[in-house]
Amino acid sequence: MTIHHHPEEEFLLDYASGALGEAWSLAVATHLALCPNCRRTVEALESVGGGMLETVAPEPIDAGAFDAVLMRLESGTEQPVPPVLASADDGSPFRLPEPLRGYAGGDIEQIRWQRLGLGAYQLLIPTGTKGATARLLRIPAGRPVPTHTHHGMEMTLVLCGAFSDTTGTYGRGDIQQADADLEHQPIAAPEEDCICLAITDAPLRFKSLAARLIQPLINI
């Protein structure tokens, strides 16, 4: 498996520093489970951050600071998702890597898919990131996704199969980041269904009237 498309550096930096929301961290962590190069990058960023902390002179803190930290922890503040490597992952495209497998409630054959129409399916994945939606998408081999652009940011991680659009071809482990500047029509490769993890922070903006009419029903 050769991965050609990786998260932007700012996402890796935010992930390493713990500043990335849970939904986006899920995509990055799952990519890290498949990508040794990005794992090394994150490890280097974490080492730099740790080294900087060691050089910072200690400062006195308010007596109530510890209690304030405990209150924030108890309030459910988002935590980054660590890159857990699945020891049983043999590279099969039908085996979800961790941590995604835990979030999805099992492997591909255990997923209870929601029908989207035209043979496509989705599984919504709950996370603690307000304003962002994580979902697994299953697009039939050779089928296109309706042409669309974006009201916000979309990050798509390919887990099985492949898709292509005007920006290139994306296979297992590849990540595509898209925003309002990109109008595209991803098409699943003809060999097998394309299964992706998609994170969005706003609804898609479909070009066709038919897609816009059913959009409220499928929540995408």
Residue 71: pLDDT above 60? Answer: no
Find the CATH number of the domain harbouring 70: 1.10.10.1320
Same structural domain, 20 and 122 = no
pLDDT in tens, 124-137: 999 988 889 999 99
Of 66-75, 140-149, 169-178, which gets the smallest average pLDDT?
Answer: 66-75
Asked, for residue 84, whether it belongs to a domain, the answer is: no
- What is the per-residue DSSP string for 21-36? -HHHHHHHHHHHHH-H
Instruction: Please tell me the predicted confidence (pLDDT) of residue 64.
Output: 58
Instruction: Please tell me the predicted confidence (pLDDT) of residue 22.
Output: 96
Cα separation, 12 vs 99, in Å, equals 17
The confidence band for 67, taking pLDDT boundaries of 50, 70 and 90, is low
Cα separation, 220 vs 218, in Å, equals 6
Q: Over the chain, what is the mean pLDDT?
A: 83
Residue 193: pLDDT above 70? Answer: yes
The confidence band for 199, taking pLDDT boundaries of 50, 70 and 90, is very high
Same structural domain, 55 and 118 = no
Asked, for residue 89, whether it belongs to a domain, the answer is: no
Number of Cβ within 10 Å of residue 199's Cβ equals 25
Cα separation, 197 vs 122, in Å, equals 10
Residue 89: pLDDT above 80? Answer: no
How many structural domains compose the chain? 2
Find the CATH number of the domain harbouring 161: 2.60.120.10
Q: What is the mean pLDDT of residues 19-27?
A: 95
Given a contact cutoff of 8 angstroms between Cβ atoms, the answer to whether 98 and 26 are in contact is no
- Residue 205 in tokens: 């903006």
Asked, for residue 80, whether it belongs to a domain, the answer is: no
Half-sphere exposure of 30 (CA within 13 A, CB side): 32
- Phi and psi at 27, nearest 5°, equal -65, -45
Instruction: Please tell me the predicted confidence (pLDDT) of residue 1.
Output: 73
Domain boundary among the residues 74, 89, 114 is at: 74
Asked, for residue 90, whether it belongs to a domain, the answer is: no
- Residue 23 in tokens: 């939904």
Q: What is the mean pLDDT of residues 44-60?
A: 62
Same structural domain, 50 and 127 = no
Same structural domain, 61 and 132 = no
pLDDT in tens, 99-124: 999 999 999 889 999 998 778 999 99
Same structural domain, 47 and 120 = no
Asked, for residue 107, whether it belongs to a domain, the answer is: yes
Environment class of 143 (CB within 10 Å of its CB; exposed 0-12, middle 13-18, buried 19+): middle
Asked, for residue 1, whether it belongs to a domain, the answer is: no
Same structural domain, 62 and 123 = no
Instruction: Please tell me the predicted confidence (pLDDT) of residue 152.
Output: 93
Same structural domain, 124 and 171 = yes
Residue 92: pLDDT above 50? Answer: no
Structural domain boundaries enclosing 209? 100-218
Same structural domain, 193 and 124 = yes
Same structural domain, 70 and 113 = no
